[in-house]
Amino acid sequence: MIDFKNVSRDSLYYDQYKYAVDFRLEEVGRWRRLFKYSNTKDIKDFVERMPEYSDVGEVAMLLRADKDAHKSIIYGSWVYVYTNDLTLLKDLAALSYVTRTAKYNQCVVDRAKGVVVLEKTQHQYRTYLRGKYFDDTERDRFIQFFANRPDYFRITPSMQSRLIGDRGRVFNFKHFYTNDWNFIDHHDINDALMLNLVLPGIVRKTVPIQTK
């Protein structure tokens, strides 16, 4: 039996899926093409040629067989699956290497659309960033923008973990990027406008935050 965590939201995942699971799968990012472009024969051939990656092939085969009933995202060594198909989730849960790290969520639509509801907060707005890769100039502008305003924003731990160094804002990877699910919390709606002036197009949307 799958133990789902209820997640309060203003809409279904991608406006259509009730369930979500994420799990770690070593080297999956290296073979993401299997999940996008490959057919069943391609995946079987891959497993025969690369048996050391049979776990990746097995998951790719499961998702391929149910390709019209889910959305999957490969990010680094993690797989994210959104679906309404409980059978697919049970098939994934039957794989021991999936269950070791799997987290299952069930979407509960219980609040108005376009509002973030938190137990407590010091901020009034949440701004979601647009997924993009930065060139060196854009990266430096992004880092400096937050370095100059340490009390204006709350940066998520996942983003903060990539901003390190003596000033706490030096990016430690060769390529800087953001994802569509990255967000920042802030006090004034104009804070997001300022960020968008520094990096045009980086702001995807800004929504108000309410407390329960």
**Closest among 68, 70, 73, 91 to 18, alpha carbons compared:** 70
Question: From CA 65, how far away is CA 140, in angstroms rounded?
Answer: 44
Domains of the chain, each with CATH number or no CATH: 5-109 (3.30.70), 116-211 (3.30.70)
pLDDT of residue 175: 64
Q: How far apart are the first and last CA of the chain?
A: 31
Question: What share of the chain in percent tops pLDDT 90?
Answer: 50
| H or E element in which residue 88 lies | helix 86-93
Q: Is the pTM of this model over 0.75?
A: no
More confident residue, 38 or 46: 46
pLDDT of residue 94: 94
Confidence label for 169 from pLDDT (cuts 50, 70 and 90)? very low
Q: What is the CA radius of gyration of the chain?
A: 20
- DSSP of 173-200, one letter per residue? SSSEEE-TT-EEEES-HHHHHHHHHHST
pLDDT in tens, 175-200: 678 888 889 999 999 999 999 999 99
pLDDT of residue 68: 83
Q: What is the distance of C-alpha 124 from the center of its chain? A: 23
Q: Is the pLDDT of residue 23 over 70?
A: yes
pLDDT in tens, 147-164: 888 889 998 877 776 665
Q: Is the pLDDT of residue 167 over 50?
A: no
Question: From CA 95, how far away is CA 90, in angstroms rounded?
Answer: 9
Helix 136-147 with 189-198: angle, nearest 10 deg: 150
**How far, in Å, are 30, 161, 190 from residue 203 at the CA level?**
29, 21, 12
State the CB neighbour count (10 A cutoff) for residue 102.
19
pLDDT of residue 170: 46
pLDDT of residue 162: 62
State the CB neighbour count (10 A cutoff) for residue 84.
14
